[in-house]
Every structure is written in C-alpha cells, then in structure tokens.
C-alpha cells in the first residue's frame, strides 16, 4: 500500500499479506529450523523413528530423512525449500538427506545471531559461500582412495549407510548382497546405474530370506498352464510386438454372406497366428517375454511347442532382461532371428508368498540383477527397501568417485577447525560468517552424541582436542560411548555424501537469508473459487430470470 496526498493506494489484492525486513527473515529462518528439528532426532545409528499417518490413514514408520519430509504436509514456502534440499540429496547421492537438512537449519540459526548484531545478510551470504568452497577443499584433502574391487571397504561403506535402519539385525547379509549387486551391474568405465538393480518386495518370511537373483525377477506368470514351469539352458526371445492377428489401420468392413466364408475367415486368422508362432519356434527360442498381448490360439501353439511365455511385461523389465541375458528387444515379428536371443541357465516359475513369479537365473555376466526383499510385515519390508536403496546408492557413488571419508562426525569437526583458521586469514566482516559456518558444522557430532544419550559437550571437547593434535580421523564411537579412529572402526562414508550435503545446505541457507520481503497472495475461499465454464450445473439461465424481483 502506498500513500498519495493522504489517499491510500492499494497495490496488492485484498487479503494478500506482506512481511518484510527482519519479520520476513525471522519467519523464514524459524520455518527452516522447524524442519531441521523435525528430522534431527533420526540422525545416526541410535536415531529414533517417526510414525507418519497420511490423510487416508496409511502409516509409514521410518527414520529416513527424505521419506519423512516427503510425507509431511508442509505449507510454509521456506520450509518447502528445506524439503527440496533433502530431495536433491536423495537424487544425487541417495543418502545424507538428514545431514544436509540439519546443517542447513544450523547455518540459519547461526546467521540469525549475526543478523541481531546488524551484520548485513549479503555479508553473511558471501562468507557462507567462501566457507562452503573451503569446506569442499578440506574434505578432498581428508579423503582416502579406494579401488572399485576392494569389496571389504565397500561392505563397510554399505554397513555405515545401513546402521540405524530397521535392517540392522541382518545387516551383514544385506551388506554383502548390496556390494555384490552393485559390482555386478557396474559398467567397465566405472559408472553404475542403480536402475539396473530391481528391488522386488514380498511380505512373508523373515529379513534373512532376502536374496539376490543373478539375473532377473519378473512379476508375471506363464500365460498357459500347459507351458513348462522350468526351462534349463534357456534361449530367451524379447519381443516388443503382439503375437496376435494384425488389425487394419483404417476402418474397414468385411461382408460375409455364407457360413463357408466365415469359416474361411476364421481359418485365415488362425493361419496368420500360426505363421507368427512358427517364426518364434524356428528361431530356436524356448522362452518368450512379450511386451504386448499373446492371442489365445498363439498360447496353445506355444504351449504345444514347449515354449514358456509371459505377456504384457513392463518396458523397464524388458530393458533389464536385455542387460541380464544379452538379448536384444525385437520390435517386429519379421526381425526374429537366433542372433537376437539371450541366454540363461534356468528360467523357472515359482510361487513367492502365494504369487507366481518368473525367475531368470544363472545368467552369464548379468548387467542387471534383482533383489527380492522379504519381511514379516509391510512396514518392515518398506523400511528394508529404503535401507537397501541408501546402501546401493552409497556403494555406487564410492565406485564412481573412488574416494571415501571417515564417519562419526570426524569430517565435520575437521572442517570446523580448519575453517576457524581460514576465517582468521580472511579478516573483515566475512570472517564472522565463516566462523558461524564453522560453528554450524559441529551440529552433526553434537546431534550424534545427543541421540546416543551421551554428553555432547564432553564429546565435542574430546573431538576438538584429538583433531588439534592432527588425529583427523577421530570421531564418536557411539556403541563404545567414546571417541576413536573411525577408519579403524570401519565407519566410513563416500566423499560425495559430505560434499553434496554441505554445498546443498549452504546454498539453501544463502537463498533463505537473501529474502527480505515475502508477498503472499490471498487464499481463495470456496465461495471465491472461479466458476466452471457454463456456470453451476442445473442452474442454467435461472439466475438471470430473478433480476426483476430485486
């Protein structure tokens, strides 16, 4: 609203709200801190779980940061920005979501104290950017190299990601599964696409029944009961064309005037389908996976020929089958040939929890694998899947980058100490922001200690003392309630998890700090909502006829 000769001029629509300056900054920082506090208690091996109930009563029990934030119904725009940080971490690295959000919240808390001392937000933002760049350098210096075939170290990295999740009881078995799966699908150039590892959930059995299939698992059954249930030395044909008679592209009518003509038409239809099946049989295939439909007559002929077939297989499954078996997906019946076939030691239909599934196993050097997750209840299976997803991602990232850092709060304390030295060399007001960034980094070891029921001040003092003596790998050993060398304890994390968490947290903190004006449009009530085209149903022209009565 502006004033002109005593007359107020309305710029914003009625009902809009506007807050600026300190009020806007204070509200945004408070919202972001609230999000960070919501997930803070889940951090670390002794972190607690959250139960989330949605509007229709579905329950999710987890301590996975990004899952919690996605399930929470958040409305405040600044709080939504913190949720975006978690989503970015999940997409980029697959783990460290809670770490990023907690650091982001603490950076804003430290900035709030500087704002009260009248340090300008742009000065804080500049200092934070400098500190984030320096932190990345410090972490790179700390990082230890690892070879892609060092399975022992990769198991430790998977173990760190899995600790504190619901899978803890069977984590030794699951860690080995994860490392085996990732190393199998890794390409020769060192890149790993986690999408080539299919996770199939089935409620029933125990977590220990979770297994890896060196090949593929397709959630389909044979199309015909007379088909073989098990095929050894399988020659697999992947077909992206329907095994049915072709319908005309244009609308056409066929006039049949006698029963003989009808019979001839049906015979021709059957002959066309048999010709397609004959091509499949001639190619030597004994297993067929079809992305489209298989006609009833075709099913009969395939079953007679002893070919196992499944239809309407998902496109993603077809792609993984191609990688696992070495087959090519054929898009035309005429293109079927022996060269396009894939191989597998055995293809078998088995029942899992009462549902038929097709297992494609004993593939030679499969570049796509499946993990079948078992557990006593749906909530357990879901949480195991989230734990496996985190572990698969961190192992993949380690194989790609070939670098890891110690865990247990060691990198954060090292960054904090080195940043304080760096701040002194920078000088000026930016020094205050860099020191605030250094203090914010200590939130991770502090939270780890708090969540484990340890005294955070004692732990921080011990950690600082050790790092000042040059013991940069010392972190909090939560299970022994003391500080110790994290590399010797096997608590290790990929370098990218830490660098991405710090850069994402600092970026969101800077973005929120630079906002000094929040203009919110008015929320439309149901009465104000725009009418659908043509007015309200059933009220045709009735409203207009009432004009004369008023």
Contact yes or no for 399/190 (Cβ under 8 A): yes
- DSSP letter string over 183-247? HHH--TTS---GGGEEEEEEEBS-GGG-EEESSEEES---SSTTS-SEEEEEEEEEE-S-BSPPP
CA 215 centroid distance within chain: 22
Q: Is 412 exposed, middle or buried (0-12, 13-18, 19+ CB in 10 A)?
A: buried
Tell me the helices (H) and strands (E) count for the chain, helix number first: 17, 21
Contact yes or no for 24/517 (Cβ under 8 A): yes
Q: Please confirm, yes or no, whether 98 is among the known catalytic residues.
A: yes
CA 13 centroid distance within chain: 40
Residue ranges in 469-494 assigned as alpha helix (H): 486-489
Residue ranges in 65-149 assigned as alpha helix (H): 65-71, 77-92, 97-116, 121-142
Q: Please confirm, yes or no, whether 191 is among the known catalytic residues.
A: no
Q: Please confirm, yes or no, whether 97 is among the known catalytic residues.
A: yes
Residues 6+ apart with CB under 8 A from 110: 436, 437, 439, 440
Q: Please confirm, yes or no, whether 390 is among the known catalytic residues.
A: yes
Please name which of 26, 13, 245, 213 lies closest in space to residue 115, comparing C-alpha atoms: 26
Catalytic: which of 42, 95, 390, 483? Answer: 390
Cα 482 to Cα 458: distance, rounded to the nearest angstrom: 10
Query: Tokens 């977590």 map to which residue?
Result: 207
Residues 6+ apart with CB under 8 A from 245: 269, 272, 273, 295
Catalytic: which of 98, 325, 447, 483? Answer: 98
Please name which of 254, 238, 205, 186 lies closest in space to residue 398, comparing C-alpha atoms: 186
Q: What separation in angstroms does the CA of 533 have from each of 147, 181, 279, 544?
A: 64, 55, 55, 16
Cα 329 to Cα 291: distance, rounded to the nearest angstrom: 9
Catalytic: which of 42, 62, 64, 317? Answer: 64
How many Cβ atoms are within 10 Å of 357's Cβ, its own excluded? 20
Strands 211-213 and 287-290: unpaired
Query: Tokens 């990198």 map to which residue?
Result: 411
Cα 314 to Cα 358: distance, rounded to the nearest angstrom: 13
Residues 6+ apart with CB under 8 A from 25: 112, 115, 121, 513, 515, 516
Catalytic: which of 42, 62, 67, 97? Answer: 97
Tell me, what DSSP letter sits at residue 374?
E
The catalytic site residues sit at 64, 97-98, 390
């Amino acid at each position: 609203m502006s004033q002109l000769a005593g007359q107020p001029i309305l710029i914003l629509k009625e009902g809009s709200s506007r807050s600026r300056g300190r009020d806007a900054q204070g509200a945004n920082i408070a919202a972001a801190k609230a999000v960070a506090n919501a997930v803070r208690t889940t951090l670390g091996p002794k972190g607690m779980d959250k139960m989330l109930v949605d509007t229709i009563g579905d329950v999710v029990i987890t301590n996975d940061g990004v899952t919690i934030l996605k399930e929470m119904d958040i409305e405040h725009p600044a709080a939504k920005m913190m949720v975006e940080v978690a989503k970015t971490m999940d997409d980029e690295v697959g783990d460290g979501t809670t770490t990023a959000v907690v650091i982001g919240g603490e950076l804003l808390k430290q900035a709030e104290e500087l704002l009260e001392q009248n340090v300008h937000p742009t000065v804080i933002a500049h200092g934070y950017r400098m500190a984030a760049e320096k932190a990345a350098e410090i972490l790179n210096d700390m990082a230890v190299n690892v070879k892609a075939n060092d399975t022992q170290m990769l198991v430790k990295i998977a173990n760190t990601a899995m600790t504190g999740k619901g899978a803890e009881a069977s984590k030794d078995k699951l860690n080995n599964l994860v490392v085996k799966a990732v190393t199998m699908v890794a390409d020769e150039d060192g890149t790993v696409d986690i999408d080539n590892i299919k996770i199939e959930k089935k409620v029933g059995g125990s977590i220990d029944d979770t297994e890896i299939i060196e090949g593929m698992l397709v959630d389909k059954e044979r199309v015909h009961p007379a088909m073989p249930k098990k095929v050894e030395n399988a020659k697999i044909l992947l077909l992206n064309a329907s095994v049915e008679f072709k319908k005309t592209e244009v609308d056409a009518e066929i006039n049949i005037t006698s029963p003989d003509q009808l019979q001839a038409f049906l015979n021709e239809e059957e002959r066309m389908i048999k010709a397609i099946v004959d091509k499949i049989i001639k190619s030597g295939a004994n297993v067929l996976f079809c992305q489209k439909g298989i006609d009833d007559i075709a099913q009969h002929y395939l079953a007679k020929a002893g070919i196992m077939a499944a239809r309407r297989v998902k496109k993603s499954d077809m792609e993984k089958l191609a990688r696992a078996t070495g087959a090519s997906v054929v898009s035309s019946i005429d293109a079927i040939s022996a060269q396009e076939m894939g191989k597998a030691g055995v293809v078998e239909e088995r029942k899992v929890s009462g549902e038929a599934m097709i297992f494609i196993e004993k593939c030679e050097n499969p570049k796509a694998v499946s993990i079948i997750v078992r557990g006593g209840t749906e909530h357990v299976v879901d949480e195991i899947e989230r734990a496996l997803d985190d572990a698969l991602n961190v192992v993949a990232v380690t194989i790609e980058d070939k670098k890891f850092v110690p865990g247990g709060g060691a990198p954060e304390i090292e960054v904090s100490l080195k940043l304080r030295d760096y701040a002194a060399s920078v000088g000026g007001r930016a020094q205050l922001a860099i020191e605030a960034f250094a203090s914010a980094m200590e939130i991770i070891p502090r939270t780890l200690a708090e969540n484990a029921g340890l005294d955070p001040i004692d732990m921080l003092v011990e950690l600082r003392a050790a790092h000042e003596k040059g013991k940069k790998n010392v972190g909090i050993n939560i299970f022994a309630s003391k500080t110790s060398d994290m590399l010797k304890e096997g608590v290790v994390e990929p370098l990218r998890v830490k660098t991405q968490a710090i850069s994402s947290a600092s970026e969101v903190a800077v973005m929120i700090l630079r906002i000094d004006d929040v203009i919110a449009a008015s929320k439309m009530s149901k009465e104000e909502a725009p009418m659908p085209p043509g007015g309200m149903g059933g009220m045709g022209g009735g409203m207009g006829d009432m004009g004369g009565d008023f």
